[in-house]
Protein backbone atom coordinates (compact mmCIF):
# COMPACT_ATOMS: atom_id res chain seq x y z
CA UNK A 1 0.00 0.00 0.00
CA UNK A 2 1.39 3.38 -1.05
CA UNK A 3 0.88 6.22 1.44
CA UNK A 4 1.56 9.93 1.83
CA UNK A 5 2.58 11.27 5.23
CA UNK A 6 0.54 14.39 6.02
CA UNK A 7 1.75 15.00 9.56
CA UNK A 8 1.31 13.80 13.08
CA UNK A 9 1.37 14.46 16.82
CA UNK A 10 3.01 12.85 19.85
CA UNK A 11 0.70 9.83 19.60
CA UNK A 12 0.26 9.09 15.91
CA UNK A 13 1.12 9.85 12.31
CA UNK A 14 -1.59 10.59 9.75
CA UNK A 15 -0.99 8.89 6.42
CA UNK A 16 -3.23 9.04 3.39
CA UNK A 17 -3.70 5.91 1.30
CA UNK A 18 -2.77 6.91 -2.26
CA UNK A 19 -5.50 4.63 -3.60
CA UNK A 20 -7.99 7.06 -2.05
CA UNK A 21 -6.36 10.03 -3.81
CA UNK A 22 -8.98 10.13 -6.53
CA UNK A 23 -11.71 10.66 -3.93
CA UNK A 24 -10.76 14.34 -3.91
CA UNK A 25 -10.14 16.65 -0.97
CA UNK A 26 -10.28 20.06 0.66
CA UNK A 27 -7.64 22.29 2.28
CA UNK A 28 -9.11 25.26 4.10
CA UNK A 29 -8.23 27.85 6.70
CA UNK A 30 -7.78 31.54 7.32
CA UNK A 31 -5.04 33.54 5.62
CA UNK A 32 -1.58 32.79 7.04
CA UNK A 33 -2.45 29.52 8.76
CA UNK A 34 -0.36 27.21 6.54
CA UNK A 35 -2.53 26.17 3.58
CA UNK A 36 0.26 26.74 1.04
CA UNK A 37 2.73 24.48 2.86
CA UNK A 38 0.04 21.80 3.17
CA UNK A 39 -0.58 21.99 -0.56
CA UNK A 40 3.19 21.75 -1.12
CA UNK A 41 3.68 18.61 0.97
CA UNK A 42 0.76 16.85 -0.73
CA UNK A 43 2.16 17.72 -4.16
CA UNK A 44 5.57 16.39 -3.08
CA UNK A 45 4.03 13.20 -1.79
CA UNK A 46 2.15 12.50 -4.99
CA UNK A 47 5.20 13.30 -7.13
CA UNK A 48 7.31 10.79 -5.14
CA UNK A 49 4.71 8.12 -5.93
CA UNK A 50 4.91 8.88 -9.65
CA UNK A 51 1.66 10.86 -9.83
CA UNK A 52 1.73 14.01 -12.00
CA UNK A 53 0.40 17.15 -10.31
CA UNK A 54 -1.16 20.35 -11.67
CA UNK A 55 -1.59 23.35 -9.38
CA UNK A 56 -2.21 27.07 -9.62
CA UNK A 57 0.23 29.41 -7.86
CA UNK A 58 -1.83 32.37 -6.67
CA UNK A 59 0.71 34.15 -4.48
CA UNK A 60 3.86 33.19 -6.39
CA UNK A 61 5.39 31.20 -3.53
CA UNK A 62 4.91 27.63 -4.77
CA UNK A 63 7.76 27.78 -7.30
CA UNK A 64 10.25 26.81 -4.57
CA UNK A 65 9.03 23.23 -4.94
CA UNK A 66 11.50 22.97 -7.84
CA UNK A 67 14.50 23.38 -5.47
CA UNK A 68 15.61 21.47 -2.35
CA UNK A 69 14.87 23.02 1.02
CA UNK A 70 17.41 24.18 3.57
CA UNK A 71 17.94 23.10 7.15
CA UNK A 72 16.33 25.17 9.88
CA UNK A 73 15.92 24.58 13.60
CA UNK A 74 12.11 24.75 13.37
CA UNK A 75 12.11 22.17 10.59
CA UNK A 76 14.39 19.90 12.66
CA UNK A 77 12.10 20.31 15.65
CA UNK A 78 9.02 19.42 13.61
CA UNK A 79 10.71 16.36 12.09
CA UNK A 80 11.60 15.07 15.55
CA UNK A 81 8.14 15.74 17.00
CA UNK A 82 6.40 13.84 14.18
CA UNK A 83 9.11 11.10 14.25
CA UNK A 84 9.95 11.24 10.54
CA UNK A 85 12.84 8.85 9.81
CA UNK A 86 13.37 9.22 6.04
CA UNK A 87 13.32 13.01 5.64
CA UNK A 88 15.77 14.54 3.15
CA UNK A 89 15.85 17.86 1.32
CA UNK A 90 15.28 17.42 -2.40
CA UNK A 91 13.82 19.12 -5.45
CA UNK A 92 10.86 18.02 -7.57
CA UNK A 93 10.55 17.87 -11.38
CA UNK A 94 8.65 21.04 -12.23
CA UNK A 95 7.31 22.76 -15.36
CA UNK A 96 6.11 26.36 -15.24
CA UNK A 97 3.12 27.63 -17.23
CA UNK A 98 1.64 31.09 -17.63
CA UNK A 99 -1.35 32.22 -19.70
CA UNK A 100 0.42 35.56 -20.25
CA UNK A 101 3.67 33.76 -21.22
CA UNK A 102 5.76 35.84 -18.80
CA UNK A 103 6.67 33.39 -16.03
CA UNK A 104 6.23 30.11 -17.87
CA UNK A 105 5.30 28.43 -21.11
CA UNK A 106 2.13 29.84 -22.68
CA UNK A 107 -1.11 27.96 -22.11
CA UNK A 108 -3.65 28.18 -24.91
CA UNK A 109 -6.90 26.64 -25.98
CA UNK A 110 -9.27 27.46 -28.81
CA UNK A 111 -12.66 29.12 -28.69
CA UNK A 112 -14.20 25.88 -30.01
CA UNK A 113 -12.57 23.78 -27.29
CA UNK A 114 -13.74 26.17 -24.57
CA UNK A 115 -17.33 25.77 -25.75
CA UNK A 116 -20.38 28.04 -25.43
CA UNK A 117 -21.27 27.08 -21.83
CA UNK A 118 -17.96 28.17 -20.30
CA UNK A 119 -17.70 31.17 -22.64
CA UNK A 120 -21.15 32.36 -21.59
CA UNK A 121 -20.01 32.20 -17.96
CA UNK A 122 -16.73 33.93 -18.80
CA UNK A 123 -18.52 36.77 -20.63
CA UNK A 124 -21.32 36.95 -18.03
CA UNK A 125 -24.01 36.68 -20.72
CA UNK A 126 -27.71 36.62 -20.04
CA UNK A 127 -29.95 33.87 -21.41
CA UNK A 128 -30.71 35.70 -24.67
CA UNK A 129 -27.05 36.44 -25.35
CA UNK A 130 -26.09 32.87 -24.46
CA UNK A 131 -28.59 31.66 -27.03
CA UNK A 132 -26.93 33.81 -29.68
CA UNK A 133 -23.54 32.39 -28.71
CA UNK A 134 -24.81 28.82 -29.05
CA UNK A 135 -26.15 29.74 -32.48
CA UNK A 136 -22.74 31.16 -33.38
CA UNK A 137 -21.05 27.86 -32.61
CA UNK A 138 -23.64 25.88 -34.56
CA UNK A 139 -23.43 28.16 -37.62
CA UNK A 140 -19.64 28.05 -37.59
CA UNK A 141 -19.74 24.27 -37.44
CA UNK A 142 -22.23 23.99 -40.30
CA UNK A 143 -20.28 26.48 -42.42
CA UNK A 144 -16.98 24.70 -41.78
CA UNK A 145 -15.46 27.75 -40.07
CA UNK A 146 -13.01 27.18 -37.23
CA UNK A 147 -13.37 29.32 -34.11
CA UNK A 148 -9.83 29.46 -32.77
CA UNK A 149 -9.23 32.91 -31.29
CA UNK A 150 -11.10 36.05 -30.27
CA UNK A 151 -11.00 37.66 -33.71
CA UNK A 152 -12.72 34.58 -35.15
CA UNK A 153 -15.53 34.93 -32.65
CA UNK A 154 -15.87 38.67 -33.23
CA UNK A 155 -16.00 38.20 -37.00
CA UNK A 156 -18.64 35.48 -36.74
CA UNK A 157 -20.82 37.63 -34.49
CA UNK A 158 -20.53 40.59 -36.87
CA UNK A 159 -21.44 38.40 -39.84
CA UNK A 160 -24.44 37.00 -37.96
CA UNK A 161 -25.68 40.51 -37.14
CA UNK A 162 -25.38 41.55 -40.81
CA UNK A 163 -27.28 38.47 -41.96
CA UNK A 164 -29.74 38.26 -39.09
CA UNK A 165 -32.85 38.21 -41.32
CA UNK A 166 -31.62 35.27 -43.39
CA UNK A 167 -30.53 33.35 -40.29
CA UNK A 168 -33.61 33.98 -38.15
CA UNK A 169 -35.72 31.22 -39.71
CA UNK A 170 -33.20 28.54 -38.69
CA UNK A 171 -31.54 30.02 -35.59
CA UNK A 172 -34.07 32.39 -34.07
CA UNK A 173 -33.83 36.11 -33.53
CA UNK A 174 -30.29 37.51 -33.56
CA UNK A 175 -30.63 41.07 -32.37
CA UNK A 176 -27.99 43.67 -33.03
CA UNK A 177 -28.31 44.78 -29.39
CA UNK A 178 -27.31 41.31 -28.13
CA UNK A 179 -24.41 41.07 -30.56
CA UNK A 180 -23.26 44.57 -29.63
CA UNK A 181 -23.27 43.73 -25.93
CA UNK A 182 -21.30 40.55 -26.60
CA UNK A 183 -18.75 42.45 -28.70
CA UNK A 184 -18.23 44.90 -25.84
CA UNK A 185 -17.69 42.02 -23.41
CA UNK A 186 -15.14 40.54 -25.78
CA UNK A 187 -13.26 43.85 -25.89
CA UNK A 188 -13.13 43.92 -22.08
CA UNK A 189 -11.94 40.32 -22.04
CA UNK A 190 -9.23 41.14 -24.55
CA UNK A 191 -8.07 44.06 -22.40
CA UNK A 192 -7.71 41.60 -19.51
CA UNK A 193 -5.31 39.48 -21.56
CA UNK A 194 -7.62 36.74 -22.85
CA UNK A 195 -6.13 37.06 -26.35
CA UNK A 196 -3.06 35.26 -24.96
CA UNK A 197 -5.20 32.31 -23.90
CA UNK A 198 -7.28 31.72 -27.03
CA UNK A 199 -5.28 30.48 -29.99
CA UNK A 200 -2.87 27.83 -31.16
CA UNK A 201 -0.90 25.71 -30.55
CA UNK A 202 -3.41 24.54 -27.96
CA UNK A 203 -2.08 22.83 -24.87
CA UNK A 204 -2.14 19.04 -24.98
CA UNK A 205 -3.67 17.57 -21.85
CA UNK A 206 -1.15 14.72 -21.94
CA UNK A 207 1.60 17.25 -21.19
CA UNK A 208 0.12 17.64 -17.71
CA UNK A 209 0.35 13.87 -17.16
CA UNK A 210 4.10 13.22 -17.42
CA UNK A 211 6.71 11.56 -15.23
CA UNK A 212 10.47 12.19 -15.31
CA UNK A 213 13.23 9.66 -16.00
CA UNK A 214 13.25 8.62 -12.34
CA UNK A 215 9.54 7.87 -12.33
CA UNK A 216 8.59 10.93 -10.27
CA UNK A 217 5.43 12.75 -11.27
CA UNK A 218 6.08 16.10 -12.96
CA UNK A 219 4.54 19.05 -11.09
CA UNK A 220 2.99 21.60 -13.46
CA UNK A 221 2.62 25.05 -11.88
CA UNK A 222 0.39 27.68 -13.47
CA UNK A 223 1.55 31.17 -12.52
CA UNK A 224 -1.71 32.89 -11.58
CA UNK A 225 -0.37 35.90 -9.67
CA UNK A 226 -1.52 38.35 -12.37
CA UNK A 227 -4.35 36.21 -13.68
CA UNK A 228 -6.47 36.25 -10.53
CA UNK A 229 -6.07 40.01 -10.12
CA UNK A 230 -6.57 41.01 -13.76
CA UNK A 231 -9.22 38.48 -14.75
CA UNK A 232 -10.48 36.16 -12.02
CA UNK A 233 -13.24 34.88 -14.29
CA UNK A 234 -10.67 33.85 -16.89
CA UNK A 235 -8.81 31.96 -14.17
CA UNK A 236 -12.01 30.18 -13.18
CA UNK A 237 -12.92 29.46 -16.80
CA UNK A 238 -9.48 27.97 -17.45
CA UNK A 239 -9.69 25.62 -14.46
CA UNK A 240 -13.21 24.54 -15.38
CA UNK A 241 -12.13 23.96 -18.99
CA UNK A 242 -9.20 21.86 -17.77
CA UNK A 243 -11.46 19.76 -15.56
CA UNK A 244 -13.99 19.30 -18.36
CA UNK A 245 -11.34 18.42 -20.96
CA UNK A 246 -9.76 15.83 -18.69
CA UNK A 247 -13.15 14.27 -18.12
CA UNK A 248 -13.88 14.07 -21.85
CA UNK A 249 -10.47 12.83 -23.04
CA UNK A 250 -9.02 10.52 -20.38
CA UNK A 251 -9.92 6.82 -20.51
CA UNK A 252 -11.61 4.93 -17.70
CA UNK A 253 -9.11 3.33 -15.31
CA UNK A 254 -11.30 2.06 -12.49
CA UNK A 255 -9.86 1.62 -9.00
CA UNK A 256 -6.06 1.87 -9.03
CA UNK A 257 -3.36 1.98 -6.38
CA UNK A 258 -2.82 5.70 -7.04
CA UNK A 259 -4.35 8.49 -9.17
CA UNK A 260 -3.27 9.17 -12.74
CA UNK A 261 -3.28 12.93 -12.14
CA UNK A 262 -3.99 15.25 -9.21
CA UNK A 263 -5.27 18.83 -9.52
CA UNK A 264 -5.01 21.52 -6.83
CA UNK A 265 -7.38 24.47 -7.36
CA UNK A 266 -6.41 27.42 -5.14
CA UNK A 267 -8.91 30.24 -4.47
CA UNK A 268 -11.58 27.67 -5.24
CA UNK A 269 -14.45 30.06 -4.49
CA UNK A 270 -13.68 31.83 -7.79
CA UNK A 271 -14.89 28.73 -9.63
CA UNK A 272 -18.39 29.15 -8.27
CA UNK A 273 -18.84 32.90 -7.81
CA UNK A 274 -21.91 33.97 -9.80
CA UNK A 275 -21.84 30.69 -11.74
CA UNK A 276 -25.25 29.73 -13.18
CA UNK A 277 -26.96 26.63 -11.85
CA UNK A 278 -26.39 24.73 -15.10
CA UNK A 279 -22.63 25.22 -14.79
CA UNK A 280 -22.52 24.20 -11.11
CA UNK A 281 -24.48 21.07 -12.01
CA UNK A 282 -21.93 20.34 -14.73
CA UNK A 283 -19.02 20.76 -12.29
CA UNK A 284 -20.72 18.52 -9.74
CA UNK A 285 -21.24 15.84 -12.38
CA UNK A 286 -17.59 15.98 -13.46
CA UNK A 287 -16.24 15.92 -9.90
CA UNK A 288 -18.43 12.92 -9.13
CA UNK A 289 -17.52 10.95 -12.25
CA UNK A 290 -13.91 11.95 -12.95
CA UNK A 291 -12.80 9.67 -10.12
CA UNK A 292 -13.18 6.74 -12.52
CA UNK A 293 -10.68 8.46 -14.84
CA UNK A 294 -8.06 8.34 -12.08
CA UNK A 295 -8.10 12.10 -11.42
CA UNK A 296 -8.08 13.62 -7.94
CA UNK A 297 -9.34 17.17 -7.41
CA UNK A 298 -8.34 19.21 -4.34
CA UNK A 299 -9.95 22.56 -3.56
CA UNK A 300 -8.12 25.19 -1.49
CA UNK A 301 -10.10 28.04 0.06
CA UNK A 302 -10.57 29.91 3.32
CA UNK A 303 -13.71 28.00 4.25
CA UNK A 304 -15.20 24.68 3.12
CA UNK A 305 -18.50 26.54 2.85
CA UNK A 306 -17.08 28.36 -0.20
CA UNK A 307 -17.75 25.10 -2.07
CA UNK A 308 -21.32 24.15 -3.05
CA UNK A 309 -22.75 21.55 -0.69
CA UNK A 310 -23.30 18.91 -3.38
CA UNK A 311 -19.64 19.11 -4.38
CA UNK A 312 -18.35 19.32 -0.79
CA UNK A 313 -20.05 16.00 -0.13
CA UNK A 314 -17.84 14.35 -2.77
CA UNK A 315 -14.58 15.24 -0.98
CA UNK A 316 -12.76 12.55 0.99
CA UNK A 317 -9.64 14.19 2.45
CA UNK A 318 -10.33 17.15 4.75
CA UNK A 319 -7.55 19.34 6.12
CA UNK A 320 -8.78 22.27 8.19
CA UNK A 321 -6.39 24.96 9.39
CA UNK A 322 -7.41 27.63 11.89
CA UNK A 323 -10.47 29.82 11.48
CA UNK A 324 -11.07 32.97 13.50
CA UNK A 325 -14.33 33.87 15.21
CA UNK A 326 -14.47 37.65 15.01
CA UNK A 327 -18.16 37.98 14.13
CA UNK A 328 -21.40 36.04 14.73
CA UNK A 329 -21.20 34.89 11.11
CA UNK A 330 -17.69 33.53 11.75
CA UNK A 331 -18.96 31.54 14.73
CA UNK A 332 -21.75 30.01 12.65
CA UNK A 333 -19.23 29.09 9.96
CA UNK A 334 -16.92 27.39 12.47
CA UNK A 335 -19.80 25.39 13.90
CA UNK A 336 -20.87 24.27 10.43
CA UNK A 337 -17.30 23.31 9.51
CA UNK A 338 -16.86 21.31 12.72
CA UNK A 339 -19.97 19.30 11.89
CA UNK A 340 -18.47 18.15 8.57
CA UNK A 341 -15.86 16.02 10.40
CA UNK A 342 -16.37 12.58 11.89
CA UNK A 343 -16.25 13.29 15.61
CA UNK A 344 -13.42 12.26 17.91
CA UNK A 345 -14.34 11.87 21.61
CA UNK A 346 -10.91 13.24 22.53
CA UNK A 347 -11.51 16.56 20.73
CA UNK A 348 -14.00 19.38 20.87
CA UNK A 349 -13.68 20.09 17.14
CA UNK A 350 -15.48 23.43 17.21
CA UNK A 351 -13.19 24.77 19.95
CA UNK A 352 -9.98 23.36 18.47
CA UNK A 353 -10.56 25.04 15.07
CA UNK A 354 -10.24 28.41 16.79
CA UNK A 355 -7.12 27.38 18.75
CA UNK A 356 -4.98 25.94 15.96
CA UNK A 357 -1.56 27.49 15.45
CA UNK A 358 0.15 28.10 12.12
CA UNK A 359 1.17 24.71 10.71
CA UNK A 360 -1.43 22.85 12.77
CA UNK A 361 -4.59 21.35 11.30
CA UNK A 362 -7.53 19.11 11.89
CA UNK A 363 -7.35 16.17 9.47
CA UNK A 364 -9.61 13.34 8.40
CA UNK A 365 -8.62 10.85 5.70
CA UNK A 366 -10.44 7.91 4.13
CA UNK A 367 -9.98 4.34 5.29
CA UNK A 368 -9.48 1.63 2.67
CA UNK A 369 -13.20 0.85 2.86
CA UNK A 370 -14.03 4.48 2.00
CA UNK A 371 -15.17 5.55 5.46
CA UNK A 372 -13.71 8.75 6.99
CA UNK A 373 -11.39 8.45 9.97
CA UNK A 374 -12.17 10.36 13.19
CA UNK A 375 -10.72 13.86 13.10
CA UNK A 376 -7.22 14.31 14.50
CA UNK A 377 -5.29 17.41 15.54
CA UNK A 378 -1.81 17.27 14.02
CA UNK A 379 1.22 19.26 12.92
CA UNK A 380 1.69 19.28 9.14
CA UNK A 381 5.03 17.76 8.18
CA UNK A 382 7.66 20.14 6.74
CA UNK A 383 8.24 20.09 2.98
CA UNK A 384 11.46 18.64 1.59
CA UNK A 385 11.60 21.35 -1.07
CA UNK A 386 12.15 25.06 -0.59
CA UNK A 387 9.52 27.13 1.19
CA UNK A 388 9.06 30.32 -0.83
CA UNK A 389 9.51 31.48 -4.40
CA UNK A 390 12.35 30.96 -6.85
CA UNK A 391 14.41 33.95 -7.90
CA UNK A 392 13.82 35.35 -11.39
CA UNK A 393 17.07 33.82 -12.67
CA UNK A 394 16.22 30.39 -11.21
CA UNK A 395 12.80 30.43 -12.84
CA UNK A 396 14.27 31.53 -16.19
CA UNK A 397 16.79 28.69 -16.01
CA UNK A 398 14.03 26.16 -15.31
CA UNK A 399 11.95 27.42 -18.25
CA UNK A 400 14.96 27.34 -20.57
CA UNK A 401 15.72 23.72 -19.66
CA UNK A 402 12.09 22.60 -19.97
CA UNK A 403 11.22 19.91 -22.55
CA UNK A 404 8.30 22.10 -23.72
CA UNK A 405 10.43 25.14 -24.53
CA UNK A 406 9.96 24.99 -28.32
CA UNK A 407 6.56 23.34 -28.41
CA UNK A 408 4.31 26.19 -27.32
CA UNK A 409 6.39 29.36 -27.30
CA UNK A 410 5.56 30.42 -30.88
CA UNK A 411 1.89 31.09 -31.63
CA UNK A 412 0.25 29.89 -34.86
CA UNK A 413 -2.50 31.71 -36.76
CA UNK A 414 -3.91 29.36 -39.37
CA UNK A 415 -6.92 29.90 -41.59
CA UNK A 416 -10.11 30.07 -39.56
CA UNK A 417 -13.40 31.99 -39.44
CA UNK A 418 -11.78 35.43 -39.55
CA UNK A 419 -9.71 34.66 -42.64
CA UNK A 420 -12.60 32.92 -44.41
CA UNK A 421 -14.99 35.81 -43.82
CA UNK A 422 -12.29 38.24 -44.88
CA UNK A 423 -11.83 36.33 -48.16
CA UNK A 424 -15.57 36.43 -48.78
CA UNK A 425 -15.61 40.16 -48.19
CA UNK A 426 -12.66 40.72 -50.51
CA UNK A 427 -14.37 38.67 -53.21
CA UNK A 428 -17.49 40.81 -52.84
CA UNK A 429 -15.31 43.93 -53.07
CA UNK A 430 -13.73 42.71 -56.31
CA UNK A 431 -17.15 42.04 -57.81
CA UNK A 432 -18.27 45.53 -56.87
CA UNK A 433 -15.12 47.09 -58.36
CA UNK A 434 -15.72 45.30 -61.66
CA UNK A 435 -19.19 46.81 -61.95
CA UNK A 436 -17.68 50.34 -62.27
CA UNK A 437 -20.83 52.00 -60.95
CA UNK A 438 -21.69 55.61 -61.55
CA UNK A 439 -21.77 57.78 -58.48
CA UNK A 440 -25.01 59.65 -57.81
CA UNK A 441 -23.98 62.21 -55.25
CA UNK A 442 -26.86 64.55 -56.07
CA UNK A 443 -29.54 62.02 -55.22
CA UNK A 444 -27.76 60.96 -52.02
CA UNK A 445 -28.43 57.29 -52.83
CA UNK A 446 -25.83 54.50 -52.87
CA UNK A 447 -25.07 52.60 -56.06
CA UNK A 448 -25.32 48.82 -56.04
CA UNK A 449 -21.52 48.49 -56.04
CA UNK A 450 -21.17 50.92 -53.16
CA UNK A 451 -23.72 49.01 -51.11
CA UNK A 452 -21.92 45.76 -51.91
CA UNK A 453 -18.62 47.18 -50.70
CA UNK A 454 -20.12 48.41 -47.44
CA UNK A 455 -21.65 44.99 -46.90
CA UNK A 456 -18.22 43.45 -47.45
CA UNK A 457 -16.72 45.81 -44.90
CA UNK A 458 -19.23 44.76 -42.27
CA UNK A 459 -18.66 41.08 -43.01
CA UNK A 460 -14.96 41.28 -42.19
CA UNK A 461 -15.83 42.39 -38.70
CA UNK A 462 -12.58 44.20 -37.87
CA UNK A 463 -11.36 47.78 -37.92
CA UNK A 464 -8.40 46.96 -40.17
CA UNK A 465 -10.65 45.14 -42.65
CA UNK A 466 -13.01 48.09 -42.81
CA UNK A 467 -10.11 50.45 -43.48
CA UNK A 468 -9.07 48.31 -46.45
CA UNK A 469 -12.57 48.43 -47.93
CA UNK A 470 -12.86 52.18 -47.31
CA UNK A 471 -9.64 52.63 -49.29
CA UNK A 472 -11.15 50.79 -52.24
CA UNK A 473 -14.35 52.84 -51.94
CA UNK A 474 -12.35 56.05 -51.83
CA UNK A 475 -10.54 55.24 -55.04
CA UNK A 476 -13.76 54.23 -56.81
CA UNK A 477 -16.24 56.79 -55.55
CA UNK A 478 -14.12 59.63 -54.20
CA UNK A 479 -14.31 61.14 -50.74
CA UNK A 480 -14.74 59.26 -47.43
CA UNK A 481 -17.57 56.87 -46.68
Q: What is the DSSP string of 330-390?
A: HHHHHHHHHTTSPP-TT--HHHHHHHPPTTEEEEE-B-TTSPBPPPEEEEEPPPSB-SSPP
Verify that 310 and 368 share a domain, yes or no: yes
In a domain, 388, yes or no: yes
Lowest mean pLDDT among 211-220, 297-306, 330-339, 430-439: 430-439
pLDDT band of residue 471 (cuts 50, 70, 90) is low
Residues 296-324 as b or e (16 or more Cβ within 10 Å = b): bbbbbbbbbbbbbeebbebbbbbbbbbbe
Would you tell me how many other CB atoms lie within 10 Å of the CB of residue 100?
Answer: 17
Mean of all residue pLDDT scores within the chain: 88
> Looking at 380, 408, 436, which one is the last position of a domain?
408
Residues 6+ apart with CB under 8 A from 447: 437, 438, 439, 440, 477
- CATH number for the domain that contains residue 307: 3.40.50.300
State whether 314 and 251 are in the same domain: yes
Measured torsion, CA atoms of residues 46, 47, 49, 53, in degrees rounded to the nearest 10: 60
Residue 117 lies in a domain: no
Distance set, CA 277 to CA 225, 238, 273, 280 (Å):
28, 18, 11, 5
* Number of separate domains in the chain: 3
Let me know the angle formed at the C-alpha of 405 by 400 and 407, rounded to the nearest 5 degrees.
Answer: 175
Does residue 316 sit in the same domain as residue 421? no
- Does pLDDT of 442 surpass 50? no
Query: What confidence tier does 338 reach under pLDDT thresholds 50, 70, 90?
Result: very high
Q: What is the pLDDT at residue 282?
A: 86
pLDDT reported for residue 461: 52
> What is the span of the domain harbouring residue 153?
124-196
Q: Does 62 fall in a domain?
A: yes
208 and 190 share one domain:
no
Indicate whether 273 and 350 sit together in one domain: yes
Residue that finishes a domain, picked among 364, 388, 408: 408
List pLDDT tens digits, range 354-413: 999 999 999 999 998 889 999 999 999 999 999 999 999 999 999 999 999 889 989 999
Quick one: average pLDDT of 91-114? 95
pLDDT at residue number 59: 87
pLDDT average, residue stretch 320-330? 91
Whole-number pLDDT of residue 120: 94
**Residue 191 sits in the same domain as residue 216:** no
DSSP state of 260: S
Q: Domain for residue 285, yes or no?
A: yes
Cβ atoms of 74 and 380 within 8 Å: the answer is no
Residues 424, 364 within the same domain: no
For residues 282 and 363, state if they share a domain. yes
Q: Which of 408, 433, 456 finishes a domain?
A: 408
For residues 147 and 416, the answer to whether their CB atoms sit within 8 Å is yes
Spatial separation of the C-alpha atoms in residues 188 and 184, rounded to whole Å: 6
The Cα–Cα gap between 377 and 320 comes to 9
Chain-centroid distance, C-alpha 102: 17
Question: Same domain, yes or no, for 326 and 392?
Answer: yes
SS3 399: helix
pLDDT digits (tens, 9 = 90+) for 22-80: 999 999 999 999 999 999 999 999 999 999 999 999 988 999 999 999 999 999 999 99
Q: Tell me, what's the pLDDT at 450?
A: 56
Question: Are residues 472 and 370 located together in one domain of the fold?
Answer: no
Residue 116 resides in a domain: no
Please indicate, yes or no, whether residues 69 and 98 belong to a single structural domain of this protein: yes
Domain assignment present for residue 166? The answer is yes
Residues 168, 53 within the same domain: no
Query: In DSSP terms, which residues pair with 54 in a beta bridge?
Result: 220, 263
Q: Quickly state the pLDDT bin for 438 (edges 50, 70, 90).
A: low
Classify residue 119: in a domain, yes or no: no
- Residue 481 pLDDT: 42
Within a domain: residue 353? yes
Q: Check pLDDT > 80 for residue 165.
A: yes
Amino acid sequence: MQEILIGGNEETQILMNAAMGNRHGMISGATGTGKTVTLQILAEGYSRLGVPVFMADIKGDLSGIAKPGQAHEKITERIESIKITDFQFRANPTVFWDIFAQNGHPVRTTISDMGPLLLSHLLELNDTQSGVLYSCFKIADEQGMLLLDLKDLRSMLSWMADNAKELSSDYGNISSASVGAMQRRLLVLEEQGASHFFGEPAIQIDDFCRTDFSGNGVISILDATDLTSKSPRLYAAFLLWLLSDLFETLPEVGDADRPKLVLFFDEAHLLFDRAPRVLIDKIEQIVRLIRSKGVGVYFISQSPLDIPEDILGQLGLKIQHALRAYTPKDRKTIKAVAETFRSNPKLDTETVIKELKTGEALVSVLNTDGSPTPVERIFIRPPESRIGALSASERTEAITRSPYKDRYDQSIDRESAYEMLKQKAEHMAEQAAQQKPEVRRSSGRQSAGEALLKSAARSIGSQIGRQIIRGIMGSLFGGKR
